[in-house]
Amino acid sequence: MPLETIEVPLAGKVLKVNVNRGDKVTEGSEICTIESMKMENPILTPVSGIVKEVGVTPGQVVKPHETIAVIEY
């Protein structure tokens, strides 16, 4: 099955992670929230599927292109 890698779009701090490995998600589901420049930015999944990998944790400082999650669809 194909995999969709969701990457960090902007530098910031992960405030919360809404999924765990094995969770089923639908297109548009919020994967996590990243705070950048005092704004909360929800990160949404572009596909429906099953979470195969979660690459971030709450409190983690992230940079663009780091992996947030991998979704099998």
- Domains in the chain with CATH codes: 1-52 (2.40.50.100)
Tens of pLDDT, residue by residue over 21-67, are: 999 999 999 999 999 999 999 999 999 999 999 999 999 999 999 99
Give the pLDDT confidence score for residue 1 in this predicted structure.
87
Residues 51, 20 contacting (CB under 8 angstroms):
yes
pLDDT band per the 50, 70, 90 thresholds, residue 4: very high
Give the pLDDT confidence score for residue 15 in this predicted structure.
98
DSSP the chain: --EEEEE--S-EEEEEE---TT-EE-TT-EEEEEEETTEEEEEE-SS-EEEEEE---TT-EE-TT-EEEEEE-
pTM of this prediction exceeds 0.85: yes
Residues 23, 51 contacting (CB under 8 angstroms):
yes
